[in-house]
Chains A and B, each alone.
Chain A
Protein backbone atom coordinates (compact mmCIF):
# COMPACT_ATOMS: atom_id res chain seq x y z
CA UNK A 1 0.00 0.00 0.00
CA UNK A 2 1.16 3.54 -0.74
CA UNK A 3 1.16 6.28 1.90
CA UNK A 4 -1.32 8.35 -0.10
CA UNK A 5 -4.83 8.43 1.30
CA UNK A 6 -7.91 9.89 -0.33
CA UNK A 7 -11.27 10.70 1.19
CA UNK A 8 -14.03 9.96 0.83
CA UNK A 9 -13.79 6.68 -1.08
CA UNK A 10 -17.22 7.02 -2.62
CA UNK A 11 -19.52 9.99 -3.05
CA UNK A 12 -22.86 10.65 -4.71
CA UNK A 13 -23.79 14.22 -5.62
CA UNK A 14 -26.59 15.89 -7.53
CA UNK A 15 -26.00 17.83 -10.72
CA UNK A 16 -25.24 21.49 -9.94
CA UNK A 17 -23.83 20.78 -6.49
CA UNK A 18 -20.27 21.39 -5.37
CA UNK A 19 -17.84 18.74 -4.08
CA UNK A 20 -14.51 18.71 -2.25
CA UNK A 21 -12.18 15.73 -2.46
CA UNK A 22 -9.18 15.34 -0.18
CA UNK A 23 -5.74 13.84 -0.56
CA UNK A 24 -3.17 13.24 2.12
CA UNK A 25 0.24 12.94 0.49
CA UNK A 26 2.94 10.49 1.45
CA UNK A 27 5.22 11.70 4.23
CA UNK A 28 8.07 13.80 2.83
CA UNK A 29 6.36 14.48 -0.49
CA UNK A 30 5.79 18.09 -1.60
CA UNK A 31 3.92 17.67 -4.89
CA UNK A 32 0.39 16.46 -5.55
CA UNK A 33 -1.13 15.76 -8.95
CA UNK A 34 -4.82 15.17 -9.55
CA UNK A 35 -6.28 12.99 -12.31
CA UNK A 36 -9.81 12.18 -13.50
CA UNK A 37 -10.39 8.61 -14.68
CA UNK A 38 -13.69 7.98 -16.44
CA UNK A 39 -14.92 4.40 -16.52
CA UNK A 40 -12.91 2.30 -18.95
CA UNK A 41 -10.51 5.11 -19.83
CA UNK A 42 -7.06 6.25 -18.88
CA UNK A 43 -6.59 9.00 -16.28
CA UNK A 44 -6.59 12.62 -17.48
CA UNK A 45 -4.32 15.17 -15.82
CA UNK A 46 -6.30 17.90 -14.03
CA UNK A 47 -3.59 19.91 -12.29
CA UNK A 48 -0.53 19.68 -10.09
CA UNK A 49 0.47 21.53 -6.93
CA UNK A 50 4.08 22.04 -5.90
CA UNK A 51 4.78 23.65 -2.54
CA UNK A 52 1.29 25.16 -2.36
CA UNK A 53 1.36 26.69 -5.87
CA UNK A 54 -0.38 25.38 -9.00
CA UNK A 55 2.37 23.97 -11.21
CA UNK A 56 0.58 22.94 -14.37
CA UNK A 57 -2.98 22.37 -15.48
CA UNK A 58 -4.64 20.08 -17.98
CA UNK A 59 -7.61 20.82 -20.20
CA UNK A 60 -10.22 21.24 -17.46
CA UNK A 61 -12.57 24.21 -16.95
CA UNK A 62 -12.11 26.70 -14.10
CA UNK A 63 -14.88 25.05 -12.07
CA UNK A 64 -12.18 22.49 -11.23
CA UNK A 65 -9.97 24.15 -8.64
CA UNK A 66 -7.52 23.02 -6.03
CA UNK A 67 -5.53 23.84 -2.97
CA UNK A 68 -2.38 22.55 -1.36
CA UNK A 69 -1.82 23.11 2.34
CA UNK A 70 1.44 23.72 4.26
CA UNK A 71 1.53 20.02 5.20
CA UNK A 72 1.30 19.28 1.43
CA UNK A 73 -2.10 17.65 1.64
CA UNK A 74 -4.43 18.80 -1.10
CA UNK A 75 -8.06 19.37 -2.02
CA UNK A 76 -9.83 19.17 -5.35
CA UNK A 77 -12.98 21.27 -5.62
CA UNK A 78 -15.51 20.92 -8.39
CA UNK A 79 -18.34 23.45 -8.72
CA UNK A 80 -21.58 23.17 -10.69
CA UNK A 81 -21.27 19.40 -11.05
CA UNK A 82 -22.24 17.86 -14.37
CA UNK A 83 -23.18 14.27 -15.12
CA UNK A 84 -19.92 13.86 -17.08
CA UNK A 85 -17.95 14.62 -13.92
CA UNK A 86 -18.80 11.11 -12.72
CA UNK A 87 -15.41 9.39 -12.52
CA UNK A 88 -12.66 8.05 -10.29
CA UNK A 89 -10.55 10.94 -9.05
CA UNK A 90 -6.95 10.01 -8.33
CA UNK A 91 -4.25 11.93 -6.58
CA UNK A 92 -0.56 11.14 -6.75
CA UNK A 93 2.17 12.54 -4.54
CA UNK A 94 5.89 12.82 -5.18
CA UNK A 95 8.93 14.66 -3.92
CA UNK A 96 10.30 17.26 -6.31
CA UNK A 97 13.83 18.20 -5.23
CA UNK A 98 13.55 21.62 -6.82
CA UNK A 99 11.87 23.02 -9.90
CA UNK A 100 13.40 21.14 -12.83
CA UNK A 101 15.69 19.20 -10.52
CA UNK A 102 14.09 15.82 -10.81
CA UNK A 103 11.74 14.02 -8.52
CA UNK A 104 10.95 10.69 -6.93
CA UNK A 105 8.40 8.22 -8.21
CA UNK A 106 4.81 9.35 -7.68
CA UNK A 107 2.52 7.16 -5.61
CA UNK A 108 -1.21 7.06 -6.24
CA UNK A 109 -4.02 6.85 -3.75
CA UNK A 110 -6.92 4.48 -4.27
CA UNK A 111 -9.11 7.25 -5.59
CA UNK A 112 -12.50 8.75 -4.84
CA UNK A 113 -15.39 7.39 -6.90
CA UNK A 114 -17.70 10.35 -7.62
CA UNK A 115 -21.15 9.72 -9.04
CA UNK A 116 -23.22 12.69 -10.20
CA UNK A 117 -26.93 12.04 -10.58
Chain B
Protein backbone atom coordinates (compact mmCIF):
# COMPACT_ATOMS: atom_id res chain seq x y z
CA UNK B 1 0.00 0.00 0.00
CA UNK B 2 3.00 2.21 0.28
CA UNK B 3 4.09 1.85 -3.34
CA UNK B 4 4.22 4.48 -6.01
CA UNK B 5 4.45 2.97 -9.50
CA UNK B 6 6.02 5.07 -12.23
CA UNK B 7 6.09 4.57 -15.99
CA UNK B 8 7.72 4.51 -18.44
CA UNK B 9 11.17 3.56 -17.24
CA UNK B 10 12.73 5.53 -20.09
CA UNK B 11 11.42 7.98 -22.66
CA UNK B 12 12.84 9.56 -25.80
CA UNK B 13 11.10 12.68 -27.13
CA UNK B 14 11.95 14.98 -29.99
CA UNK B 15 12.80 18.58 -29.19
CA UNK B 16 9.60 20.60 -29.05
CA UNK B 17 7.45 17.58 -28.27
CA UNK B 18 5.43 16.73 -25.17
CA UNK B 19 6.93 14.41 -22.56
CA UNK B 20 4.43 12.52 -20.41
CA UNK B 21 5.32 10.49 -17.33
CA UNK B 22 2.72 8.64 -15.28
CA UNK B 23 2.47 7.54 -11.67
CA UNK B 24 -0.05 5.51 -9.69
CA UNK B 25 -0.36 5.18 -5.94
CA UNK B 26 -2.25 2.91 -3.59
CA UNK B 27 -2.40 4.65 -0.23
CA UNK B 28 -5.44 6.95 -0.17
CA UNK B 29 -3.93 8.76 2.83
CA UNK B 30 -1.31 10.34 0.57
CA UNK B 31 -2.07 14.02 0.11
CA UNK B 32 1.11 15.53 -1.31
CA UNK B 33 2.45 14.58 -4.73
CA UNK B 34 5.72 16.18 -5.89
CA UNK B 35 7.79 15.64 -8.99
CA UNK B 36 11.58 15.83 -8.81
CA UNK B 37 14.22 16.27 -11.50
CA UNK B 38 17.64 14.73 -11.01
CA UNK B 39 20.72 15.28 -13.13
CA UNK B 40 23.67 12.86 -12.95
CA UNK B 41 25.80 13.49 -9.88
CA UNK B 42 23.25 15.83 -8.34
CA UNK B 43 20.58 15.51 -5.69
CA UNK B 44 16.91 15.65 -6.72
CA UNK B 45 15.37 19.11 -7.14
CA UNK B 46 11.67 19.83 -6.66
CA UNK B 47 10.02 20.63 -9.97
CA UNK B 48 6.34 20.98 -9.15
CA UNK B 49 3.94 19.54 -6.59
CA UNK B 50 0.18 19.11 -6.22
CA UNK B 51 -2.35 18.35 -3.52
CA UNK B 52 -5.49 16.31 -4.24
CA UNK B 53 -7.87 19.25 -3.91
CA UNK B 54 -7.00 20.33 -7.47
CA UNK B 55 -6.94 18.32 -10.68
CA UNK B 56 -4.22 20.25 -12.47
CA UNK B 57 -1.33 22.56 -11.69
CA UNK B 58 0.80 24.36 -14.23
CA UNK B 59 4.15 26.05 -13.79
CA UNK B 60 5.71 27.24 -17.01
CA UNK B 61 6.19 24.28 -19.33
CA UNK B 62 5.46 21.76 -16.55
CA UNK B 63 1.94 20.55 -15.71
CA UNK B 64 0.75 17.98 -13.19
CA UNK B 65 -2.57 16.29 -13.89
CA UNK B 66 -4.15 14.56 -10.91
CA UNK B 67 -6.96 11.97 -10.95
CA UNK B 68 -8.00 11.23 -7.38
CA UNK B 69 -10.55 8.54 -8.21
CA UNK B 70 -8.05 6.62 -10.33
CA UNK B 71 -5.21 7.30 -7.85
CA UNK B 72 -3.01 8.49 -10.69
CA UNK B 73 -1.02 11.59 -11.48
CA UNK B 74 1.13 12.57 -14.38
CA UNK B 75 3.77 15.08 -15.40
CA UNK B 76 3.54 16.79 -18.78
CA UNK B 77 6.52 18.70 -20.13
CA UNK B 78 5.49 20.91 -23.02
CA UNK B 79 7.92 22.07 -25.72
CA UNK B 80 10.55 19.65 -24.38
CA UNK B 81 14.13 20.90 -24.64
CA UNK B 82 17.49 19.05 -24.60
CA UNK B 83 18.16 20.68 -21.21
CA UNK B 84 15.17 18.75 -19.84
CA UNK B 85 17.09 15.49 -20.32
CA UNK B 86 17.30 14.09 -16.80
CA UNK B 87 15.74 11.46 -14.55
CA UNK B 88 12.31 12.36 -13.22
CA UNK B 89 10.80 10.94 -10.06
CA UNK B 90 7.28 11.14 -8.76
CA UNK B 91 6.71 10.82 -5.04
CA UNK B 92 3.94 10.91 -2.46
CA UNK B 93 3.55 11.51 1.24
CA UNK B 94 1.02 12.12 3.95
CA UNK B 95 1.33 15.83 4.43
CA UNK B 96 4.33 17.68 3.09
CA UNK B 97 6.66 16.38 5.80
CA UNK B 98 9.01 14.97 3.15
CA UNK B 99 8.77 11.39 4.43
CA UNK B 100 8.36 10.64 0.77
CA UNK B 101 7.58 7.39 -1.02
CA UNK B 102 9.24 7.58 -4.46
CA UNK B 103 8.62 6.05 -7.85
CA UNK B 104 11.43 4.19 -9.59
CA UNK B 105 12.22 7.07 -11.95
CA UNK B 106 11.97 7.83 -15.66
CA UNK B 107 15.07 8.60 -17.69
CA UNK B 108 14.04 11.25 -20.19
CA UNK B 109 16.12 11.99 -23.28
CA UNK B 110 15.19 14.91 -25.50
CA UNK B 111 16.62 14.53 -29.01
CA UNK B 112 17.66 17.76 -30.75
Contacts and interface: CB of A to CB of B under 8 A. Distances in A.
A42 B104 contact: yes
Contact of B43 (A2, A55, A96): A2
Contacts of B4: 42
A42 B6 contact: yes
Contacts, number: 58
B24 to A, nearest CB: 14
A72 interface: no
B43 A109 contact: yes
Contact of A43 (B41, B42, B45, B102): B102
Q: Size range of the interface on B? A: 20 to 34
Contacts of B82: none
Interface string A71-113: 0000000000000000000101010100010110110111100
Interface of B: 4, 6, 41-46, 89, 91, 95-105
A62 interface: no
Interface residues of A, number: 28
Interface of A: 2, 4, 31, 33, 35, 40-45, 48, 55-56, 58, 90, 92, 94, 96, 100, 102-103, 105-106, 108-111
Given A31-B98, A48-B98, A56-B99, A42 B42 contact: no
A48 B99 contact: yes
